[in-house]
């Protein structure tokens, strides 16, 4: 079947796009549209053309698989030219969504009618791209430059009614979309709606204050650091207010090409596909078990956030703690968080009320028997967790899934105290759990396929990005954090300061440096864990005492007002006392301090991440390199425009990373033992997953 059908309704021709599921602008769709435009033009009995989508949507967008490839004709440009040169009016009839190139197809038409629940938008910026089919030129002409800037640099969808108010949609369909579109075509043909050429309209772009653009740039400068596309978008919209449509469009085409070939765009498109792949489990075919009611054990920082995540998805949640005081604290956190969301306007009152109504609190664990899924978030202590799981095993109904939110403990050791290890797994939420989208799903050696499939289905319901991890210390995220955190500690001993390392990381694009992050999370918990680990650490391995010394001074980070930094509120201030502590440690260890360039700091930290990531892949802890990138960009602040540590390494050239790791190994010893997978992937032309498949 052709991807565009062409029919006649009296003197109006209708081109219907049929390319399920989203009517993407494939080559076939473009060819079909071109033929429809030409056929309607050639037929003297046709007075207008309607373009409409078959199925559930208009043309939802370009085909992402085409990005970065040479354009096959007819390109979207050719179609836009044909529409603009068409003497017969063309009406776009929009239902479902019209995004990106799909919207630009509609914008190039003379008139637009939309279903009341349709959505339009220019989401390109989210993939490091920008509108490339005239979006930056149409929007300011229709809605004015201020709206154009907001819509195209945010990438957020716009409801049809809003777009109608702005003048981007001309009419909202009251009845059936096609019938209303045909009626609109008659109004155009009869002259009831005036003939118009939008590309020549200057009403909204005349006399624009040039300060508008500079202010917009200034306001967003921090947010757009390291990005290319939003800056280019502003330039093109500014140009639209100065230049003719054709000149502005030419400028947009050049800018689009530049974005299309930028590393930012390659990285963001990589993450788009990696996120889709992360939810797929190649070796699990079991069906998920339905989950309607959930219990959360432990109403602390994590438990409260986890309960909110479930309640926000409409699941009924029982929150349990061992004392009334702890429960009351947890519920206060929850009600406070909802009140803040409502007052900030990020959640309507009714939704907050509905979510809150889903949560009940108790200290009576016998009620847990009703839950389909129980998530434990008590103190990070194996004995306590095991005693909780013994109890859960006794009260939970058969088939209920028992999950632990542990960050560091062995999930199988927790499962082993139950009679149902197949129903036990880790669900490692990130803080704040109701906000962070990342969820590490930890598969123990005895976790069943059905348990895993259910966890993945629950994650989708919560709108989380679930990444499966093997049951290894630190799972994916914290294990890599330990590896590059250790390197950062060694860099301190060799001559760097916490503020220099943090600045190198924020210049790279992290929203916060490593040491500022440690201070925010609190230094004491990990200190206690370290003290336990130190009893088993092999003596030949290098160990930096700096973090321990800082804790011994009672400096536990932001919460004590002092950590690596001094704090004035939440603002970190470099502290000479910490610098002299570090200099003292270097002297004690006999390390001659030197000036370390930022580039070297970054190279060492990023190589440590990539080498550890390669080990994680080799050991089967992560299934794909993209999974590691998803964890790092969603849970650890790695800049998405750089694609994650494994993608960064690939873009930098794996052969050079392999050589750098080998050199660090010679210089710094065992922690740097090169991953054999890294060497193989370097040989396989830089593709981690090809090298992994050949394992």
Taking the least distance from each CB to ligand NAI, the nearer of 80 and 302 is 302
Part in contact with ligand NAI (CB under 6 A); list of ranges 120-128, 229-237, 260-268, 371-379:
371-379
- Three-class secondary structure of residue 457 per DSSP: helix
Q: Verify binding: residue 361, ligand NAI, rule CB under 6 A.
A: no
405 binds ligand NAI (CB under 6 A): yes
Q: How many residues bind ligand NAI (CB under 6 A)?
A: 23
Q: Which of 264, 251, 239 is nearest to 148 (CA)?
A: 239
Task: Say which of 104, 376, 487, 494 is annotated catalytic.
Answer: 104
Residue 73 CA to residue 69 CA, distance in Å, equals 12
319 has which bridge partners? 296, 361
Per CB under 6 A, does 50 bind ligand NAI?
no
Rank residues 523 and 681 by Cβ distance to ligand NAI and give the closer one: 523
Which residues lie closer than 8 Å to 155 by C-beta, 6 or more apart?
121, 122, 123, 124, 125, 126
CB 84 within 8 A of CB 125: no
Residue 283 — φ and ψ, nearest 5°? -105, 15
**Rounded-to-integer distance, Cα 605 and Cα 672, Å:** 11
Per CB under 6 A, which region of 129-137, 233-241, 404-412, 597-605 contacts ligand NAI? Answer: 404-412
Smaller CB separation from ligand NAI, 301 or 360: 301
Q: Is the dihedral of CA 249, 253, 254, 258 positive or negative?
A: positive
Distance in Å, CB of 169 to ligand NAI, minimum: 45
What's the CA gap between 680 and 682, in Å, rounded?
Answer: 5
Shortest Å distance, C-beta 301 to ligand NAI? 4
Structure tokens at 165: 């108010």
Closer of 429 and 672 to ligand NAI (Cβ) = 429
Query: Is 242 exposed, middle or buried, given 0-12, 13-18 or 19+ CB atoms closer than 10 A?
Result: exposed
Give the interface segment with ligand NAI, choosing from 75-83, 146-154, 376-384, 545-553 (CB under 6 A): 376-384
Please identify which residue in 322, 362, 416, 603 interacts with ligand NAI, judged by CB under 6 A: 322
DSSP 217-238: HHHHTTTTTT-SHHHHHHHHHH
Q: Which of 321, 412, 440, 502 binds ligand NAI (CB under 6 A)?
A: 321
Contact call for residue 439 and ligand NAI (CB under 6 A): no
Quote the least distance from Cβ 348 to ligand NAI, whole Å: 28
Whose tokens are 């959930």? That residue is 294
Coil, strand or helix: which one is 497? coil
Of 38, 72, 124, 215, catalytic: 124
Binding mask 57-86 for ligand NAI (x = CB under 6 A): ------------------------------
Phi/psi at 123 (5° precision):
-80, 5
Q: Among residues 173 and 441, whose Cβ is nearest to ligand NAI?
A: 441
Q: How far is the CB of 324 from ligand NAI (least distance, A)?
A: 11
Nearer to ligand NAI by C-beta: 298 or 613? 298
**Binding residue (CB under 6 A) for ligand NAI from 5, 416, 431, 586:** 431
Residues 6+ apart with CB under 8 A from 383: none
The nearer residue to ligand NAI, 129 or 433, going by C-beta atoms, is 433
Of residues 382-401, those binding ligand NAI (CB under 6 A): 384, 388
Which parts of 43-168 fold into alpha helices (H)?
76-85, 101-107, 135-143, 145-154, 160-166
Work out how close the CB of 134 gets to ligand NAI at its nearest, in angstroms, rounded to a whole number: 46
- Closest residue to ligand NAI, judged by C-beta, is 300
Taking the least distance from each CB to ligand NAI, the nearer of 161 and 559 is 559
Residue 124 among the catalytic residues: yes
Of the candidates 33, 271, 302, 661, which one interacts with ligand NAI according to CB under 6 A?
302
Q: How far apart are CA 400 and CA 408, in angstroms?
A: 24
Distance between CA atoms of 542 and 664, rounded to whole angstroms? 14
300 touching ligand NAI, by CB under 6 A: yes
> What is the DSSP code string of 634-692?
HHS---GGGT-HHHHHHHH-HHHHHHHHHHHHHHH-GGGPPPHHHHHHHHTTT-HHHHH
Q: Which two tokens stand for residue 237?
A: 């919209």
Tallying the residues shown for the chain, one arrives at: 695
User: Tokens in use for 29?
Assistant: 């769709």
Name the residue among 551, 562, 555 with its Cα closest to residue 528. 551
Q: Is 377 in the site for ligand NAI (CB under 6 A)?
A: yes
Binds ligand NAI by CB under 6 A, chosen from 97, 341, 407, 447: 407
> Quick check: 297 binds ligand NAI (CB under 6 A)?
yes
Residue 299 binds to ligand NAI (criterion: CB under 6 A): yes
- Supply φ then ψ for residue 202, to 5 degrees: -125, 5
The two tokens of residue 68 are: 């970065």
Nearer CB in complex with ligand NAI: 259/388: 388
Site string for ligand NAI, 147-166 (x = CB under 6 A): --------------------
Contact 212, 141 (CB under 8 A): no
- Quick one: which of 301, 335, 560, 586 contacts ligand NAI (CB under 6 A)? 301
User: Does 279 interact with ligand NAI (rule: CB under 6 A)?
Assistant: no
What is the C-alpha separation between 54 and 52, in angstroms, rounded? 7
Of 212 and 521, the one with the shorter C-beta distance to ligand NAI is 521
CA distance 505 to 515: 10
Applying CB under 6 A, among 100, 101, 121, 298 the residue interacting with ligand NAI is 298
380 is an interface residue for ligand NAI by CB under 6 A: yes
Closest contact distance (angstroms) between CB of 228 and ligand NAI is 33
Q: What SS3 class is residue 473?
A: coil
> What's the start-to-end Cα distance of the chain, in Å?
43
CB 619 to ligand NAI: min, Å: 22
Binding segment for ligand NAI among 242-250, 314-322, 496-504, 657-665 (CB under 6 A)? 314-322
410 binds ligand NAI (CB under 6 A): no
Site for ligand NAI in 325-344 (CB under 6 A): 326
Helices (H) and strands (E) in the chain, counts: 29, 19
Q: How far is the CB of 307 from ligand NAI (least distance, A)?
A: 11
Residues that bind ligand NAI (CB under 6 A): 297-303, 320-322, 326, 377-380, 384, 388, 405-407, 428-429, 431
Residues with catalytic function:
104, 124
């Amino acid at each position: 079947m052709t991807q565009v059908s062409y029919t006649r309704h009296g003197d109006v021709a209708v081109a219907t796009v049929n390319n399920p599921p989203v009517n993407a602008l494939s080559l076939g769709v473009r060819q079909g549209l071109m033929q429809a435009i030409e056929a309607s033009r050639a037929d003297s009995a046709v007075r207008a053309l309607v373009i409409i989508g078959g199925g559930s949507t208009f043309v939802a967008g370009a085909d992402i698989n085409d990005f970065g490839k040479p354009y096959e004709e007819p390109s979207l440009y050719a179609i836009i030219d044909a529409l603009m040169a068409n003497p017969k009016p063309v009406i776009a009839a929009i239902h479902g969504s019209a995004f990106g190139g799909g919207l630009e197809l509609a914008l190039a038409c003379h008139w637009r009618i939309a279903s009341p629940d349709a959505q339009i938008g220019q989401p390109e910026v989210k993939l490091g791209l920008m509108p490339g089919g005239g979006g930056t030129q149409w929007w300011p002409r229709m809605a004015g430059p201020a709206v154009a800037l907001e819509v195209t640099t945010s990438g957020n969808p716009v409801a049809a009614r809003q777009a109608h108010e702005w003048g981007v949609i001309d009419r909202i369909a009251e009845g059936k979309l096609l019938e209303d579109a045909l009626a609109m075509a008659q109004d155009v043909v009869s002259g009831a709606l005036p003939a118009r050429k939008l590309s020549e309209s200057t009403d909204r772009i005349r006399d624009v204050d040039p300060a508008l653009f500079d202010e917009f740039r200034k306001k967003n400068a921090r947010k757009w650091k390291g990005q290319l596309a939003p800056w280019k978008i502003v330039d093109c919209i500014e140009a639209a207010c100065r230049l003719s449509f054709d000149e502005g469009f030419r400028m947009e085409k050049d800018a689009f090409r530049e974005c299309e070939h930028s590393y930012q765009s390659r990285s963001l498109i990589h993450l788009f596909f990696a996120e889709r792949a992360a939810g797929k489990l190649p070796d699990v075919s079991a069906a998920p078990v339905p989950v309607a009611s959930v219990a959360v054990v432990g109403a602390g920082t994590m438990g409260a956030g986890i309960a909110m995540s479930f309640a926000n998805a409409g699941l009924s949640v029982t929150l349990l703690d061992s004392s009334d005081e702890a429960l009351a604290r947890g519920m206060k956190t929850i009600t406070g968080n909802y009140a803040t969301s409502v007052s900030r306007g990020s959640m309507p009152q009714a939704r907050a009320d509905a979510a809150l109504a889903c949560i009940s609190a108790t200290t009576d664990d016998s009620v847990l028997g009703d839950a389909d899924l129980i998530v434990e978030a008590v103190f990070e202590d194996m004995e306590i967790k095991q005693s909780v799981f013994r109890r859960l095993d006794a009260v939970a109904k058969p088939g209920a899934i028992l999950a632990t939110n542990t960050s560091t403990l062995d999930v199988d050791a927790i499962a082993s105290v139950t009679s149902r290890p197949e129903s036990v797994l880790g669900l490692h939420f990130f803080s704040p759990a109701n906000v962070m989208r990342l969820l590490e799903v930890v598969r123990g050696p005895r976790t069943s396929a059905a348990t895993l499939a259910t966890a993945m289905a629950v994650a989708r319901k919560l709108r989380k990005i679930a990444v499966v991890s093997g049951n290894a210390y630190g799972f994916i995220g914290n294990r890599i954090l330990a590896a590059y955190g250790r390197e950062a500690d060694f860099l301190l001993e060799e001559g760097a300061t916490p503020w220099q390392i943090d600045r190198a990381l924020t210049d790279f694009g992290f929203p916060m440096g490593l040491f500022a992050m440690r201070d925010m999370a609190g230094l004491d918990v990990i200190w206690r864990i370290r003290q336990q680990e130190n009893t088993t650490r092999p003596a030949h391995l290098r160990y930096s005492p700096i973090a321990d010394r800082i804790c011994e001074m009672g400096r536990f980070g932001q919460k004590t007002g002092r950590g690596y930094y001094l704090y004035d509120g939440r603002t970190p201030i470099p502290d000479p006392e910490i610098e002299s502590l570090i200099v003292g440690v270097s002297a004690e260890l006999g390390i001659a301090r030197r000036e370390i360039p930022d580039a070297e700091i970054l190279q060492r930290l990023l190589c440590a991440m990539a080498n550890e990531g390669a080990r994680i892949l080799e050991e089967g802890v992560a299934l794909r390199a993209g999974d590691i990138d998803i964890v790092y960009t969603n849970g650890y602040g790695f800049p998405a425009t750089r694609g994650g540590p494994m993608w960064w390494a690939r873009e930098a050239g794996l052969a050079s990373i392999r050589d750098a790791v080998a050199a660090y190994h010679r210089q710094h010893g065992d922690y740097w033992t090169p991953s054999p997978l890294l060497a193989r992937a370097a040989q396989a032309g830089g593709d981690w997953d090809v090298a992994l498949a050949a394992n």
